[in-house]
Amino acid sequence: MKQKIIVVGNGMVGYKFCEKLIAKDTTKKFELIVFGEEIRPAYDRVHLSEYFAGKTIEDLTMAPASWYAENGINLILSDPIVDIDREAKTVRSHHGLLESYDYLVMATGSGAFVPPIPGVEKDGVFVYRTIEDLDLMQTHAKKATKGAVIGGGLLGLEAAKALLDLGLQEVHVIEFAPRLMPRQIDEAGSKVLQAKLETLGLQIHLNKNTQEIVGNGIIEAMQFADGSRLEVDMLVISAGIKPRDEVAKVAGLEVGIRGGIVVDNALQTSDPNIFAIGECALAHQMIYGLVAPGYEMAEVVATKILIGVDVASFGDAFIQEPHAQTIVFENSAKGIYKRINISNDGKYLLGGILVGDAEQYNMLLQNTKNKTILPPDPEDLMLGARGGAEDGASGVMALPDEALICSCEAITKGAIYHEIIENKVTTLDGIKKCTKAGTGCGGCVPMVKDLINETMKSQGVFVRNILCEHFDYTRQELFDLVKIKNFRTYDDVLDHLGKGDGCEVCKPAVASILASLWNEMILEKGNATVQDSNDRFLANIQKNGTYSVVPRIPGGEITPEKLIVIGQVALKYNLYTKITGGQRIDLFGAHVSDLPDIWEELVNAGFESGHAYGKSLRTVKSCVGSTWCRFGVQDSVSFAIEVEERYRGLRSPHKLKSAVSGCTRECAEAQSKDFGIIATEKGWNLYVCGNGGVKPRHAELLATDIDSETCLRYIDRFLMFYIKTAEPLTRTAPWLDKMEGGINYLKSVIIDDVLGMGEQWDAEMNLLVEAYKCEWKEVVDSPELRKRFTHFVNAPKVKDPNARFEPMREMVKAAEWK
Amino acid sequence: MVLETTTTWHMACYTDDIPENGGACALIEGEQIAIYNFSRRGEWYATQNLCPHRQQMALSRGMIGSTGVEAEPKVACPFHKKTFSLKSGECLSGDDYVIKTYPIKIENGQIFIGME
Ligand code: SRM
Ligand SMILES: Cc1cc2nc3c(=O)[nH]c(=O)nc-3n(C[C@H](O)[C@H](O)[C@H](O)COP(=O)(O)OP(=O)(O)OC[C@H]3O[C@@H](n4cnc5c(N)ncnc54)[C@H](O)[C@@H]3O)c2cc1C
Ligand code: SF4
Ligand code: FES
C-alpha cells in the first residue's frame, strides 16, 4: 500500500517539496495530497511586485494545476486545513474533508504581521503578501492619491515602490527605527539608500510611531505618537512576518514563543510524523524569511520521508551566499546530498546539511563548534576520505585536542587520546571506565571507537570488533567456531578459543551462542554461572533483590482456571500483580528461595516459563481476530499461539517480540515487532525488524498474502539468519540497518534463498523447536537445581532481611533505594 | 606499641554449596558474606554481599571473571554491572567504592571466613 503524505500549504516551499518528492519517488511509493488556502496554485511571491509591472498570474505561477494532476498529486485549493488529529493521523479541512496521513508536511508559510494599531481594520489599509492583496490594492489605488507604507524594511520599500507604480502621487515610508532597513544595513548605508529613494519620489519618515489610523470607515490620516499627522488615503502595512503556526499550535505541536513551528535538525516537529518547512518552521531558533533556505528544507524533508534516511543539519545550516561560501555534493542515484557552508575567508565551517549519509555529522558539528581551521580542501571533511593518499588530516584525527567528543560528560578528544597513548587503554569499555565518555546518551560511541581505531592505526596496530579482552573473535566468528567444534560449555569455549578467566561481557554472549545452537537447559553443564543473573535465576532481579515471575500466556489467551491459580499464588506469596505491556501477568517481589515453590504451583497448573528474563522470545501478542471480532479475516489468536509455542525459549542476540493481528486495523501492533503478522483476505502479511523501546521502528514488509506454513518457514529462516549474524545485544532493526542491501537483500536471502542456506536453517530450527523444554519445569523437578535458589547457602530458610517492601494501594512495592 | 588484631575463623558452609566459577551468600554473625568459588583458577574469595552502588545484597549473584594483564579477579554486580576486585575490593569501573574482602580458607571440604 502506498504511504500518504499530506502537504499543508501550497506556497513556494510547499510546491518545491512536491517537485522534489516527485523527482525522487521514482517507484511511486507515496501518494501526495496538498491543501492550499489560496484560490490558485503556488506562485512566485518573490517577484510579486512585478505583477504591477505587467506580469500575469500565469507568469508567476510555479506550475499550473495540470502539472499536479499529471504527477498524480491531489491538489485541493481554497480549502485550508483547520484541524490535525495527531493520534488518528488525520487532518480536517475547512470544507470538512477528512484525510489520513502517514507523514504531514507543514508548509503554511507566514502572514503579514499587523501591529495592534487602532484603525487597522479600516478600508484602504492593506498588507502585501498575496495576489489577492495586490488585486485589492490595485482597485483601491484607482481612487487614491496619497499613500503610505508602515515599515522601512526590504519588503516595505518594495511595497512603497509598488504604490508609486500604481500611480499614487505621494508615497510616504514610515519607519519606527532611526534608519531604514535597520536589520540589514548600517547607518551609513541607510543614509545613502534614503537619498536614493528620495530621488525616486518617496518621502521617508524615521523615528515615527503610528498611534492611530484615523477615518470614518475608510482611512483618512495617520496620527503619530509625536503629535504629528499625515493625510493619506491608502496604507500598506509591512511590519514583519508572523509564522502561520496556528493550526500546529492547536494540534499541540511545539511552537516558539514568538511563533514558528519548532523543528529539529531533520526538520521534524515534536511529532515524528510531522515536518515543517519554509517560513513557518523555527529551525535553530530562527525563522528564515527567505525562499532559498525554504527550498533547502524541502529537499531535506523530501529525502528524509522518501528513503527514511539519515538527515542532519548543524550550525548555520541554511546560510546563503554572499554571507558564506557553500560547497555542495550531490549523488542523486544514491540519494546523497551534502552541503557545507564555509566562512568567506575559507577558514571556518559555519554549518551544513547532510542527507542520505550523516556519518560525518558529529565530526562536522565539532569542527563548527570548535572553530577548527579548515584543511585546504574542506570538501574532504564532508566526503570522508576518498581513498588515494593517506586520510590524513580529516576525520576525528583532525579535531583539535579541545574538541568535545562526549557532550554528556564533557570529555575532550585530548583526554581520550591521552588515555589511549599514555595509559594504553585501547578498548571502548576501558575508555568508558577511565573517562566516562560514552556513558551518557551513547551518541559519541562511534566517534570514540574511531578515535581508538585511528590512533591505534597510526601506531601501526590493526583493530577488529572483538567480543572482549578474552576473545579475539567477533560474535559471528565465535558462533561458527563453537558450532564447528561442537563445544557445549563455556569452559570449553574459553579453553580452546579464548584466554584468561572470562568476564561479564563474554560470559553471557557465549552462553547465548550455546543456547541458540543447542537449546540445552541453560543451568546445566556448569553453564549456570556464566548466565546473566536473570538467566541464572530464571527471573528478573528487581529493585530490592527479589524477583519477578512471568508465566507464559501465549497469545494473551488465558482460561479462568489459570487466572485463578495466578491469583492464588500471588496471594500466598504476597506478590504485587500487574498486567504487563506484553499481554500477560507479572508477579513481583518473589524471594529467591520462594521461586521454585511458586513455579511448582504454576507448572502444576499448566503454566511454563515466559522467559521474561532471557534474551529470547518474549511474547507473541494477538488481537481477538475472526473468532469474535466483526472485522477479523483470520484467526489471529490461534496463529499467535502457534507462533509463540514454536519459538518459545529460543535464545537470540537480543530479545524477540512478535504479534499477530486479525485484520488491517492492526490491534496487536504487529508492525512494531521484530516479526509481526497481519491477516489479509488471502493469508498473512509478514513484517520484520520493528520494535518499540528506546528507538521505535516500524517493521518492514517482507512478504504478502502468504499461507501459514510459508509464513512460519520465512520466520524460521529470518530468525536463524539473525541469530547467526547479529552482534550481541543488537535487536533486529539495527541489525537490518547494518545489512548491506537492507530489506531487499533480506528478502532475497529469505524468500529467494540466494545464500542457499534455506534448507539447512529449516532443519536447524526444527531441531531447536523439538529440543524445547520448560526451564522452570526442569528446575521444579530437580532437587539439585532447586538447591541453588536460596539467599543464604548456610541458612536456606532465611530470607534476605535487606529485601524490604513498602505498602502501595492494596499491595506492596519494593522499598526505594538510595 | 603493637596493635593486635585477632582473626576469628567462622565455618560458613561446604565447598559444594558454592557453584563452580560463581558465588553464593552465607550468613555469618548476622553479616552477609559473598563467597566465590573461582574453580577455574582453584581460588576462593570472600567479600561483603552488599553492592555499595545502590545498597543491594547482590554481589554473590554476580558473574566473576578477570581483567587486565595481571588477570585481576573481579565480580560484576548483577544490577548495574559495576565491577569490583575480589582481591582488594576496589571498584574497577571508575567509582570510588571499596568493598570489604575477607580472608578465606578451605579445610576438609569446609569453608572458613576470617573476621575480626
Ligand atoms: C513488565 C514490563 C513492564 C510492564 O509492567 O508492563 C517490562 C519490564 C521490563 N522491561 Fe520492558 N517490559 C514490558 C514490556 C515492554 C514493551 C512492550 C511490549 O513488549 O509490547 C517494550 C517495547 C517493545 C519492544 O521491546 O520493542 C519494552 C521495552 C523494553 C526495553 C527496550 C528494548 C529496546 O530494544 O529498546 C528494555 C531494555 C532491554 O531489553 O535492554 C526493557 C527491559 C525491561 C526489564 C527487563 C528491565 C530489567 O532488566 O529489569 C523490565 C523487567 C521487569 C520484570 O522483571 O518483569 N523493556 N518492554 C513488560 C513485560 C512484558 C512481558 O509480558 O514480557
Ligand atoms: C512581496 C514579497 C517579496 C519577497 N521577496 C523576497 C526576495 O526577494 N527573496 C527571498 O528570498 N524571499 C522573498 N520573499 C519571501 C518569500 O516569498 C518567502 O520566503 C516564501 O514565499 C516562503 O515560502 P513558504 O512556502 O514557506 O510560504 P508561503 O509562500 O507564504 O506559502 C504558504 C502557503 O500556505 C498557505 N496556508 C497557510 N495556512 C494554511 C492552512 N492551514 N491550510 C492550507 N494552506 C495554508 C498560505 O495561504 C500560503 O499560500 C518575499 C515575500 C514577499 C511577500
Ligand atoms: S520502561 Fe523502564 S522502568 Fe518501565 S518496566 Fe521498562 S525498563 Fe522498567
Ligand atoms: S546496585 Fe550494584 S551496580 Fe548498582
Q: Is B97 close to ligand 4, i.e. is its CB under 6 Å away?
A: no
pLDDT band with cut points at 50, 70 and 90 for residue A356: low
Three cell numbers at B89? 575490593
pLDDT tens string A160-201:
989 998 999 999 999 988 888 776 666 666 777 787 788 888
Inter-chain contact B71–A818, Cβ cutoff 8 Å?
Answer: no
Nearest 10 degrees: Cα torsion A595, A596, A597, A598: 50
Q: Which ligand is nearest to the CA of A550?
A: 1
Q: Distance between CA A469 and CA A501 in Å, rounded?
A: 10
Q: Which ligand is nearest to the CA of A620?
A: 1
Interface test with A, best of B10, B21, B97 (most A CBs within 10 A): B21
Answer with the residue of higher pLDDT: A335 or A195. A195
- The 8-class DSSP code of residue A650 comes to -
Looking at residue A681, its pLDDT comes to 93
Burial (0-12, 13-18, 19+ Cβ within 10 Å), B100: middle
Q: DSSP string covering A275-316, please?
A: EE-GGGEEETTEE--SHHHHHHHHHHHHHHHHH---EEEEES
Q: Is A50 close to ligand 2, i.e. is its CB under 6 Å away?
A: no
Inter-chain contact B74–A794, Cβ cutoff 8 Å?
Answer: no
Contact (CB, 8 A) for B31 and B10: no
Within its chain, how far is the Cα of A726 from the centroid?
22
Which residues face A512 on adjacent strands?
Answer: none
Q: Which residues of A touch B (CB under 8 A)?
A: 433-434, 436, 469-470, 491, 500-504, 506-508, 526, 528-530, 532-534, 536-537, 541, 544-545, 788, 790-795, 798, 800, 802-803, 817-818
The domains located in chain A, with CATH, are 3-111+244-283 (3.50.50.60), 114-239 (3.50.50.60), 393-463 (1.10.10.1100), 475-531 (no CATH), 533-614+790-818 (3.30.70), 616-756 (3.30.413.10)
- Chain A residues within 8 A of B20 when measuring between CB atoms: 526, 529
Q: Which residue from A443, A459, A366 is spatially nearest to A408, judged by alpha carbons?
A: A443
Inter-chain contact A793–B65, Cβ cutoff 8 Å?
Answer: no
Burial (0-12, 13-18, 19+ Cβ within 10 Å), B24: buried
- For chain A, give the mean pLDDT: 88
A7-35 average pLDDT score: 92
Q: Which residue from A737, A725, A757, A742 is spatially nearest to A652, judged by alpha carbons?
A: A725
Is it the case that residue A345 has pLDDT exceeding 70?
Answer: yes
- Phi, psi (rounded to 5 degrees) for A128: -130, 90
Answer with the residue of higher pLDDT: A312 or A247. A247
**CB burial readout A309-348, b (16+ within 10 A) else e:** bbbbbbbbbbbeeeebebbeeeeeeeebbbbbbbbeeeeb
* SS3 annotation, chain B: CCCCCCCEEEEEEEHHHCCCCEEEEEEECCEEEEEEEECCCCEEEEEECEECCCCEECHHHCEEEEECCCCEEEEECCCCCCEEECCCCEECCCCCCECCEECEEEECCEEEEEEC
Is it the case that residue A368 has pLDDT exceeding 90?
Answer: no
- Distance to chain B for A463, nearest Cα, Å: 18
| A494, closest residue in chain B (CA to CA) | B40
Looking at residue A395, its pLDDT comes to 61
Q: Measured between alpha carbons, how far is residue A372 from residues A132, A329, A399, A545, A548 in Å? A: 50, 21, 7, 50, 53
Looking at residue A377, its pLDDT comes to 73
Q: How many CB atoms lie within 10 A of CB A215?
A: 18
- Chain A residues within 8 A of B79 when measuring between CB atoms: 541
Q: Is the dihedral of CA A323, A329, A332, A334 positive or negative?
A: negative
Domain boundaries, chain B: 20-115
A741-760 average pLDDT score: 90
A145-155 average pLDDT score: 91
Cα(A549) to centroid(ligand 4), Å = 21
Three cell numbers at A801? 532481611
Is it the case that residue A386 has pLDDT exceeding 50?
Answer: no
Q: Which residue from A39, A234, A255 is spatially nearest to A146, judged by alpha carbons?
A: A234
Inter-chain contact A528–B19, Cβ cutoff 8 Å?
Answer: yes
Inter-chain contact A434–B65, Cβ cutoff 8 Å?
Answer: no
Q: Is the dihedral of CA A704, A706, A711, A713 positive or negative?
A: negative
Q: Is A202 close to ligand 2, i.e. is its CB under 6 Å away?
A: no
Interface test with A, best of B67, B70, B104 (most A CBs within 10 A): B67
Answer with the residue of higher pLDDT: A65 or A348. A65
- Chain A residues within 8 A of B41 when measuring between CB atoms: 501
User: A584: alpha, beta or left, given left = phi > 0 and alpha = psi -120 to 50?
Assistant: beta
Three cell numbers at A732? 533486529
Q: Distance between CA A243 and CA A256 in Å, rounded?
A: 10
- Chain B residues within 8 A of A798 when measuring between CB atoms: 27
Q: Is A37 close to ligand 2, i.e. is its CB under 6 Å away?
A: yes
A92-121 average pLDDT score: 94
Q: Which residue from B85, B65, B78 is spatially nearest to B25, judged by alpha carbons?
A: B78
| Residue whose CA lies nearest to ligand 4 atom number 3 | B80
Q: Which residue from A812, A813, A790, A799 is spatially nearest to A543, judged by alpha carbons?
A: A813
The answer, for B76 touching chain A at a CB cutoff of 8 Å, is yes
pLDDT tens string A621-651:
999 999 999 999 999 999 999 999 999 999 9
A730-748 average pLDDT score: 88
Q: Distance between CA A529 and CA A526 in Å, rounded?
A: 7
Which residues face A341 on adjacent strands?
Answer: A326, A351
- Phi, psi (rounded to 5 degrees) for A330: -135, 135
A287-313 average pLDDT score: 77
The answer, for B71 touching chain A at a CB cutoff of 8 Å, is yes
ipTM, two decimals = 0.70
In chain B, the N- to C-terminal Cα span, in Å, equals 19
Q: Distance between CA A530 and CA A522 in Å, rounded?
A: 9
pLDDT tens string A763-815:
999 999 998 999 999 999 999 899 889 999 999 989 999 898 999 998 999 98
- The 8-class DSSP code of residue A531 comes to S
Looking at residue A528, its pLDDT comes to 84
Residue to substitute in A512, A531, A534, A540 for testing ligand 1 pocket (most ligand atoms within 8 angstroms of CB):
A540
Cα(B53) to centroid(ligand 4), Å = 5
A540-552 average pLDDT score: 94
Q: Is B53 close to ligand 4, i.e. is its CB under 6 Å away?
A: yes
Contact (CB, 8 A) for A689 and A719: no
Answer with the residue of higher pLDDT: A396 or A671. A671
Contact (CB, 8 A) for A510 and A479: no
Q: Distance between CA A612 and CA A550 in Å, rounded?
A: 6
CATH superfamily of B20-115: Rieske [2Fe-2S] iron-sulphur domain (2.102.10.10)
A670: helix, strand or coil: helix
Residue to substitute in A17, A34, A37 for testing ligand 2 pocket (most ligand atoms within 8 angstroms of CB):
A37
Q: Distance between CA A515 and CA A521 in Å, rounded?
A: 8
Is it the case that residue A147 has pLDDT exceeding 50?
Answer: yes
Answer with the residue of higher pLDDT: A426 or B89. B89
Looking at residue A385, its pLDDT comes to 44
Looking at residue A432, its pLDDT comes to 84
| Residue whose CA lies nearest to ligand 2 atom number 13 | A46
Q: Which residue from A578, A569, A505 is spatially nearest to A540, judged by alpha carbons?
A: A578
Which of the residue ranges A3-12, A317-326, A728-737 would you say has the lowest mean pLDDT? A317-326
Which of the residue ranges A374-383, A654-663, B43-52 would you say has the lowest mean pLDDT? A374-383
Residues in chain B, pLDDT under 50: 1
A433 vs B32, B64, B93: nearest CB: B93
Q: Distance between CA A263 and CA A215 in Å, rounded?
A: 43
Q: DSSP string covering A48-64, please?
A: GGGGTTT--HHHHBSS-
Residue to substitute in A580, A667, A698 for testing ligand 1 pocket (most ligand atoms within 8 angstroms of CB):
A580
Cα(A12) to centroid(ligand 2), Å = 6
| Helices A445-458, A413-422: inter-axial angle, 10-degree rounding | 40
Looking at residue A461, its pLDDT comes to 67
The answer, for B46 touching chain A at a CB cutoff of 8 Å, is no
Inter-chain contact A501–B81, Cβ cutoff 8 Å?
Answer: no
A127: helix, strand or coil: strand
Q: Is B64 close to ligand 4, i.e. is its CB under 6 Å away?
A: no
Interface test with A, best of B48, B61, B85 (most A CBs within 10 A): B61
Looking at residue A390, its pLDDT comes to 35
Q: Which residue from A90, A84, A130, A41 is spatially nearest to A261, judged by alpha carbons?
A: A84
